[in-house]
Amino acid sequence: SDNVGFPNQLFRLLNDAQLLGIDHLISWMDDGITFRIHDEDQFLKVLLRISHNTKVISFRNTLGQFQFRSNAYGDKWRSYRHISAMDKEQQATKSEILFHRDATLEQVNSISRRRPTGNRRIGNDSNDRDDEDGYGVLDSVKKRKRSIAISAKKPIPHQDSLDH
């Protein structure tokens, strides 16, 4: 899969953001656990360094598959934490939190991708479907309409033919 190293690449991008001159687009927050994308539209321009996603929604979906959750957002910005850091107090031991500024590569590489389930979230790209072609429901509706149309074309026996 093309996203196997996604958490590792994201981690490196965050830790090198200042060096790369992109810390105005993505950076760690002061807690070292949360990271913020400061301008999602501008961030798309550097997105190809870590992902084949060229749409914000695709990038968000990939974050979700690796269990990163948005914990705050504004008009252009959005911040994220890994699920291992959710509901933990800031005094929690860093060994429990897999993705933070001082994480080891072993911790970051242990973040695995969750396979998408059948439950679709509202707001996902309509092109990004779990079923093969995305037409499963449409096809069944068309078949139903076709069967109704066919049965409507069957000749109805005339009253006088029933009398004989």
- Confidence at residue 27, expressed as pLDDT on a 0 to 100 scale: 96
Contact 129, 119 (CB under 8 A): no
- Confidence at residue 59, expressed as pLDDT on a 0 to 100 scale: 85
- Residues of the chain below pLDDT 70: 1-4, 49-51, 53, 87-94, 116-164
Contact 84, 98 (CB under 8 A): yes
Residue 99 burial (CB count, 10 A)? 25
Q: Whole-number mean pLDDT of the chain?
A: 75
- Confidence at residue 155, expressed as pLDDT on a 0 to 100 scale: 61
Spatial distance between the Cα atoms of 112 and 107, rounded to a whole number of angstroms: 11
- Best CA proximity match to 98, nearest among 28, 16, 7: 7
Enter the pTM of the model.
0.63
Residue-level length of the chain = 164
pLDDT per residue over 79-115, tens digit each?
999 999 886 555 556 678 999 999 999 999 999 988 7
Helices 56-65 & 40-47, crossing angle to 10 degrees?
70
